[in-house]
Structure 1
Amino acid sequence: MACLKMKKAILAFGLLGAHAITVCAQADVVTYGVVDIGVAHEKNSSLNGSVTRMDSGIFNGNRLGIKGAEDFGAGVSAVFTLESGFTADTGVLGQGGLLFGRQAWVGLSGDLGVIQLGRQRNTVYANAYVFDPFADALAGDSARLFNYSGYRSNNMVSYGYESNGLRGQLQYSLGEVVGNAAASSTRAGYAGYRKGPLDVVLTHHRTNNTAGNTGKATLIGGNYDFGMIKAFAAYAWNKGVRQDGSISHGADIRSGLIGITASIGDASTVMVSYIRLWDKVVSDANASQVAIGYVHDLSKRTALYASHSRLTNESNASYLVATEGLTAHLFNAGIRHKF
């Protein structure tokens, strides 16, 4: 394998070193994926009845990915991820039909962190496992209610670092609007600490739309592992983000979550959560959700699952329903396989 002369300027760009080095690059590329499918039964007052359907990606989003690293030596690597989402019940591409809708980025990694360029996960979504016992999945999915302006952003530049339990990331996505650099752009970041039984994170996400309105989501949350039981808690401020997740000037919604996961033997886990939402602008527009879930691992790669949630809206609230004041029940069960 050919040896490459790496100059100081290249390493400075990656924040990864200070001296020219001579290395023999070694590439490591792997493929991976998830296939997840199940049956869901939804009883939603706005449906005038109930519906039973086959759902895809209930526990984990279906994906087919390629990731890799090329080691240049001296702690410096080129890294990339290309990840395509799909629906297992129909076989079509997810994320609006994008080829690599889940992730598509390349960057440089080293002792002082990693720089990534491309389509990436936003900070709140990427840290959901820290504060949500359902980890943005199953019927207890907190993302359906926390409204933090999207899961992923295009045209993103990010810098991340992790050492001795401390971790963090800064993100900026270019809106690419002619004459208005701020329009359609996103600024985000998080700081976290993970050591021993404690894992906490503070995230902030700021998105501008083409109309010039700004949505801001700030969340603090974490978990503590007591052994058989792990406790979760989170609190979020959403400014300029309405109940349906759209950006609108003046909106102000707060969200709180408490929950636990409990291990049953070596192969089973029970999850329980309670979410409360307060609209600080619209009266009688609060809502709450109670959820319970169960996962049984058949192996390290395959699991069976089931979950149920009940969402209650006040008279002026319309979370997950078409008309204010209605309730929603969701039950699902299925199988997930990783490869």
Structure 2
Amino acid sequence: MKKSLIALAVLSTLAGTAFAQTAITIYGVVDAGIVYDNAGAGRTWRLDSGNQSGSRIGFKGSEDLGSGLSAIFNVENGFNTDNGTLAQSNATTNRLFGRQAWVGLKGGFGSVKLGRQLTPLYVAMDQIDPFRIGLAGNAQRAFGYGLYNADPFLRTDNTISYSMPDVSGLTGTLSYSFGEQPGAFASNRTYAAGVGYANGPINAQLAYQKSTTATLPGAVATAGSAAAVFGGGGTTADLRTILVGGYYDLGVAKAHLAYGDTHADSAATSLKTRNWLVGVSAPVGGAGTVMASWNRNDIRDLANGKSDQWAIGYAHAVSKRTNLYTSIGYTKNDAGVSLNSTAPGQSDRLFNVGVRHLF
């Protein structure tokens, strides 16, 4: 009996030590709201998920391996609050952890991660955009003619990345995504890099990405030569983009500015797209934040290839983890393009109001 008690005490001590060396966090976002959108055949009222932030549940953790080295991981599932379905899945790809799924090592040298990851482009835009890639002012809806809102500009599979340690606000990331195409090593692969500086009132970001024979998202109705690149689901193109921007905190408000240049080269044609963002975000009354922005997408190869997106939004914290939000946006398209819409020259009005809870 005495030996059993001693053995139990030793096992309990070892288990406690192992638990202390391993930290695991469960976190998530549940976001839902009412949306009005006039894009398409007619006006639509609906209940949508992820208007301000994509709804998700995630698991992340680290294990102390000694000598300053840690094992790290993050798996993150995206879901639709309105109907409970998976958010990053479609008819051809079933993703349980579609937002992120990676494992790696971290130490004084920085960190190395392997798996499905957010791109440096996404990380930079999230810092720059006054709407933090959400609501009606989401800059991803405009930049790269909407390509910033889809893989591979959003996330990349089969990726190995290296991130340097933070040095007085200076950060940097390099990543490479394997194409995994038999007999075609150069197909479907991605190179990306990002550099950021956040110190005091200044936050500056620079990101670059090149993807070969990337499969573009579903059909986007366009006119002119744009249809040859963006005109149908499954179209492939070589993509290249650079994004530079940031914000300056004036105390009473933050001034946001960004510029993007994107090239899309398909078998039929090549298109050059330029983007600008000018925005502002400001605290209101201690619990609120107001946001406003103007985004322009300009397809340089089209005579009528400009789109402008204006938006204003407001978020109000009712606790540390729950806030209410609302926003309204308007997109005006030239005759040759259909950003955020379904027909060339058609304008789009988007309104949402809802609630977001973090856990």
TM surpasses 0.5: yes
Q: Distance in 2 between matches of 1:134 and 1:291?
A: 9
2:124/2:196 contact within 8 Å kept: no
* Aligned-pair CA distance for 1:127: 2.1
Whether the 8 Å CA contact 2:274–2:300 is kept in 1: the answer is yes
Q: Identify which of 157, 160, 164 aligns with 1:157.
A: 160
Residues 24 and 296 of structure 1, relative CA distance in 2, 3 Å threshold = closer
Cα deviation digits, residues 244-290 of structure 1 (max 9, x gap): xx897411000000000011121000000001111111111111010
Q: Is 1:237–2:261 an aligned residue pair?
A: yes
Distance 1:206 1:324 in 2: 28
Task: Identify the residue that residue 291 of structure 2 maps to in structure 1.
Answer: 271
Kindly report the root-mean-square deviation, in angstroms, between the aligned alpha carbons of the 2 structures. 2.0
Matching of residue 35 in structure 1 with residue 39 in structure 2: no
Are the aligned partners of 2:100 and 2:116 in contact in 1 as well (CA < 8 Å)? Answer: yes
1:101 aligned onto 2:98: yes
Do residues 66 (structure 1) and 63 (structure 2) align?
no
Q: Secondary structure at the match of 1:87?
A: coil
The equivalent of 1:50 in structure 2 is 43
**1:303-314 → structure 2 map (5 Å cutoff):** 303-314=323-334
Partners in 1 of 2:20 and 2:263 — Cα distance? 47
1:92 matches 2:96? no
Q: Assess, with a 3 A threshold, how the Cα gap between structure 1 residues 212 and 268 changes in structure 2: closer, same or farther.
A: closer
- How far 1:24 moved relative to its partner? 11
Over alpha carbons, which structure has the higher Rg? 2
Q: Which residue of 1 aligns with 2:277?
A: 257
* Structure 2 residue identity aligned to 1:234: A
Partner SS for 2:260: strand
> CA offsets per residue over residues 270-324 of structure 1, 9 Å max, x none?
0000011111111111110100000000111000000000000011111121211
Once the two structures are TM-superposed, the CA of residue 25 in structure 1 deviates from its matched residue by: 8.2
SS of the equivalent of 1:214 reads strand
Partner of residue 189, structure 1: 193
Letter in 2 for 1:197: P
Q: Distance in 2 between matches of 1:279 and 1:212?
A: 18
Letter in 1 for 2:163: G
Return the alpha-carbon distance in structure 1 between the equivalents of residues 85 and 259 of structure 2: 36
Pick which of 31-40 and 278-287 moved more.
278-287
Runs in 1 of length 4+ with deviation above 4 angstroms? 246-249
Secondary structure of the residue aligned to 2:36 is strand
The one-letter code of the counterpart of 1:57 is: G
Identical pairs, percent: 40
Q: Is the 8 A contact 1:215 1:247 kept in 2?
A: no
How far, CA to CA, are the matches of 2:338 and 2:29 in structure 1? 32
Residue number in structure 2 paired with 1:176 = 180
Q: Which has the higher strand share?
A: 1
* Equivalence for 1:221: 245
- Residues 192-239 of structure 1, C-alpha deviation per residue, up to 9 Å, x if partnerless? 111001000110111111688410010001011111201100000011
Matched, 1:201 2:205: yes
State how 1:292-303 maps to structure 2 within 5 Å: 292-303=312-323
* Number of residue pairs aligned between Structure 1 and Structure 2: 314
User: CA offset at residue 38 of structure 1?
Assistant: 0.3
Tell me the residue number matched to 1:8.
none
The letter for the 2-side match of 1:251 is L
Unaligned runs of 5+ in 1: 3-22
Secondary structure class of the residue paired with 1:171: strand
Indicate if the aligned counterparts of 1:133 and 1:261 stay in contact, CA closer than 8 A: yes
Return 5+ residue gaps in structure 2 as ranges.
1-12, 215-234
Q: How far, CA to CA, are the matches of 1:231 and 1:130 in structure 2? A: 12
Q: Which has the higher helix share?
A: 2
Instruction: Please report how far the alpha carbon of residue 84 of structure 1 lies from its aligned counterpart in structure 2 after TM superposition.
Output: 0.4
SS in 1 for 2:283: strand
Provide the C-alpha distance between the structure 2 equivalents of 1:229 and 1:38, rounded to a whole number of angstroms: 27
| One-letter amino acid of the structure 1 residue matched with residue 48 of structure 2 | D
**CA 1:25/1:171 → structure 2, altered by over 3 Å: closer, same or farther?**
farther
Q: Is the 8 A contact 1:214 1:248 kept in 2?
A: no
What TM-score results when the alignment is normalised by the length of structure 1?
A: 0.89
